Structure formats: C-alpha cells, structure tokens
Amino acid sequence: MAKKRTTTKAEADTPPNGDAIGTNWSVADLTFMQPQSTPAPVFPLQHLTPAIEALVHGFTDTQHLSAAYVGPTVLATVSGAIGNRWRIGLTSAKTEPLALFAAMVGRPGSGRSTVIEIAQDALQHAETAIMGDGANTQHSSAGSQEIAAHQARQTSSAMKRILRSGAVPADLDEDAAASGPPLVLCDATGAGFIDELQHDARGRTLLSAEFRGVLKGLMAGQGHRGRTILLQAFDGPRYPVKLKTGFIVVPALLLTVLAALHPQSIGHITQGDGLCARFLWSYPDVTPIHELPSEAGPVDLLRKLAVDLVRSGGSDSTGQYFDTIAMSDEARTVLDRASRTFTAGIDDLGDRLHDVYVRAAQQARRISAVFAVTEAVSKGQQPIAVSGEDAERAVGLMAEFFLPMAERTLTVTREKEEAPTTQLARHLRRLGKATINSREDILRGRGSPLRDAGAIQDALRELQLRGLLQPAERGGLGRPAQNWLVHPALLTA
C-alpha cells in the first residue's frame, strides 16, 4: 500500500494564491474586519499663512512626518511663543489670549514624539535667547551694579504685591520679569503649575509625549482641583489660590498645550467637564515611520520665529504684560457667520461633540489672531489687526480639519473593544500561514490577542461558520492536533 503524502511545513506556511479558492471555499465576506471610525481628513495646507505653510511643508518633507501632526505642532509652537504677550482686543475692556490646546492621537512610531521635539527645540531656543538678553543687560561698573541690584529689589517688591493683590503695577520691570522663568514645562502637579506661574503673567507651554501621565500628576493629591487648574489655564485669568499661609494670586494662569495621546487614553480627557472641547484634535491614519530624516528641515526658521515672537509683545508703556491686536470689521463678520454655521443643528449631537462645536468659533478666533501676529512678526512688522483673510483661513481650518478630526477622535471612545473573532482574524492575516495550529499559533503564538482556551475555541468556531476556516485533515492516530486551513482571501486581504 502506497504511503500517503503529508504536507511539509514549508508548504503549509506558504500563502496560497488568493484567486485559487477551489471547490471547498466559498466567497469570503470580510466586512466585519473593516474599521468603523470616521475617515481622517487631509490637513488643508491652503488655509495656512505663507510663513506657517513653509514650516509645515519643510518638516513634513524632510522628517517623513504627517502634515496632520506637523500643522497643529507649528500652530501650538507659535502660540506658545506668543504666550500672553499678545491678546485679542474684543472690546475696549475685554481681551482674550491666543493660547491653543492641541492633542495628537496615535500609536507609537507615528511621529508624535518627533513633532513634540521640534516644538521643544524652538521654544527652548527662544527661552535661551531671552535669558541671554537679560544677562547682556547687566553692567560691570560698581555704580551700575548697585543700580541693577536696586532694580532687582524693586522687581521683587512688585512681584510680592502681585501675589498679594493680583494687580499688575506699572513699575514692574518687564525685561526682568520676562528673562527669568522658562517657557516650557513638560510635567508638573497642580501645585507645581501654581508655583511656576505665580512668577509672571507671560504664560507657559506644556509639552507632553504622553498626556495621560500629566493628567494623573495634576490630580494626584488634589483630585479634580488639579484638573480645574488646566481648564482655567485655557483662558489665562487671575487665579487666587488659598494656601496654609494665606492667599496668593497668580497674575495670569495661562498655558499653551501640545499633547500626545494613545487612542486608548482619550477617555481620560473626555470626562464631561469641558476639557475635551478646549482641544484641537488630530488623529490621522499613519503607518510607523521607518525612514530616517533626510535633513533637519526648517529648524532655524522656526527657532528665529519663536525668538521674534517672544520679543514682539508685552512692552506696552501702561505696564501691561501684553499688547492687543484688534479684530477688524471684516474678521468679525466672518467669525460671526461661522459661529452660526458651526452651531446649526448641534442639539442632535452628543454632549462631547456639542461642546466642541460650541467652542469652534472661539478656536477659529484664536487661530486667526495667531495667524495675524505670526505673519506680521515673520515680516518684521508690528501686528495691528486680524484681517478678514486671517479669519477665513482659520474658519476653513476648523471646518475642514479640526472639527472632522474631533468627530473621528471621539468616535474612538464610543467604540467597544473589538470582538475576539475580529481580533483572531486580524492575527491570522498577520501570520500569513495557510495552515495554523490553535495551540502553537494562537494560544502560545507570538502577538496573539487571545490567550484563553475557551475564547479561542469560540472564535475558531465563528470563523468556521463564516467560511474562513476549515478543519485540516488529520495526519494520523492520536490526539487531534487542532490544525485549521485558512481561507486564501483572508491571507491576501
């Protein structure tokens, strides 16, 4: 009797031709494996100002990064450099800061850490430059040193009055106040933020490669009070704080935020207190980056722009920490019309998206002012007013990118965990093997999403009912080997 030929391991591991379905396979339906999230919009470079567009193009091309990450990063970087040096003049008595909160969602290897490094490099370069300006103003003569010491005592006394009363005195030395504290924070507790921001009203930029840890740090020991500090820091108000020794008043609790988040960490922001709506979201479809950067990109241009922005405002003779940029009539018309468009039909949205759309006009207003200030400073000019064109660009950016991205991002938190059957199907597709063994390839297999024997058997049975698996023919006597044939369409999907 002729010996029956058995399939070799090499033959079993070789993916078959996807078209060779054969008589034992039916046409496969793989729609259950398709992702359910909203498609990611393309970042609209045409809505950026020339100076910002050149930076985004440069970093995208040389660093192999997604424009959907680079665009918000450059916006947050220039916003952080502006800080509280410029504010939007809404009325003769009311102003608004230009602070932006940007959140970049993605998995490791997508480039989020790289863009945060780009922002940190530019802002720390500006920080070094302005601290150098302070050092260069010191004089060498004994008389000049005495005068400098007297000015330092005056500054210290003025700061103490700020902490007691919250007032901003006209005799506060602006250069001394600007040259000391850093521009960048990477982590802090709630008490740490208060301690840092009490020194002046210039504002800070918070950069975080994993924002979930920052939120935990804020709430450690203080509960929701720490989270409230972050909420308040979006608007930069005077902030009285009760300490054991008495009250202090932070002159302006203002932060610009550039944060990276893993998709599974989004829920830590979306807790119904308004923090979610303060963020500009970006969650593009990106694959891990394998190429090394070909060039540094426009690093020097961004550094220079950050330095120029830090030096551009906050020198008003009245003793204010900020200068104001007006809203032109054309800009007001554009933004008012956009506000009505953004909020039309929002009652049909869920609570989180409802809040995002309500704040959309405010976000567009801030972005338009960032555009106006940045473009003027990049040309060596004094910012005067937000133009209608600035407003149109900002509204287009919100409508075509940030609002669709918010919808996409917030659907992630509504999705349930992927079913075991879907997880197993994806695992088998990654394996690429025409024949698999449930014990070696799934229960003990590298990268397998399922480790429970019962869950594995249930998922195998469902894939068999879907026509994607067939029991392999047993090769002999003894205990069943639990080998399965995999549908060719699954391996070539």
Q: Is the pTM of this model over 0.85?
A: no
Q: Where are the domains of the chain?
A: 9-36+418-492, 45-414
- The structure tokens listed for 151 are 């000015």
Q: Which long-range contacts (CB under 8 A, 24 or more apart) does 243-249 make?
A: 247/164, 248/163, 248/164, 248/194, 248/198, 249/162, 249/163, 249/164, 249/165, 249/166
User: What is the C-alpha to C-alpha distance for residues 336 and 359, in angstroms, rounded to an integer?
Assistant: 13
Sign of the CA dihedral with 47 first, then 53, 58, and 63 last: negative
- pLDDT per position in the chain (493 positions), as tens? 444 444 454 444 444 444 444 447 888 888 877 766 677 899 999 999 999 999 999 999 998 899 999 999 999 999 999 999 999 999 888 999 999 999 999 988 889 999 999 999 999 999 888 776 655 544 433 333 443 343 344 444 444 444 444 444 444 444 444 444 578 888 766 677 777 777 788 889 999 888 888 887 776 656 667 788 888 889 988 888 776 677 777 888 899 999 999 888 888 788 778 899 999 999 998 877 777 777 888 999 999 999 999 999 875 444 567 899 999 999 999 999 999 999 988 877 777 888 999 999 999 999 999 999 999 999 999 999 999 999 999 999 999 999 999 999 887 655 556 788 988 998 998 898 999 999 889 988 888 889 898 999 999 999 999 999 998 876 665 555 689 999 999 888 7
| Residue pointed to by tokens 């018309």 | 333
Query: Taking a C-beta distance cutoff of 8 angstroms, is the pair 185, 206 a contact?
Result: yes
Instruction: Using alpha carbons only, give the angle 245, 248, 252 rounded to the nearest 5 degrees.
Output: 160
Architecture of domain 45-414: 3-Layer(aba) Sandwich (3.40)
Which DSSP helix (H) or strand (E) runs through 249? strand 246-250
3-state secondary structure of 485: strand
Residue 479: its pLDDT value, please? 59
Q: Which residues contact 369 (CB under 8 A, 6 or more apart)?
A: 86, 88, 98, 325, 327, 386, 390
User: What is the C-alpha to C-alpha distance for residues 28 and 18, in angstroms, rounded to an integer?
Assistant: 11
Residue 36: its pLDDT value, please? 63
| HSE value, Cβ hemisphere, 13 Å, CA-based, for 113 | 8
Residue 37: its pLDDT value, please? 65
Q: Which residues contact 413 (CB under 8 A, 6 or more apart)?
A: 266, 267, 270
CATH number of 9-36+418-492: 1.10.10
Residue 229: its pLDDT value, please? 83
Which of 414, 79, 112 lies closest to 282, judged by CA?
112
Residues in a beta bridge with 101: 257, 279
Query: Taking a C-beta distance cutoff of 8 angstroms, is the pair 288, 132 a contact?
Result: no
Residue 143: its pLDDT value, please? 37
User: What is the C-alpha to C-alpha distance for residues 223 and 216, in angstroms, rounded to an integer?
Assistant: 9
| HSE value, Cβ hemisphere, 13 Å, CA-based, for 73 | 31
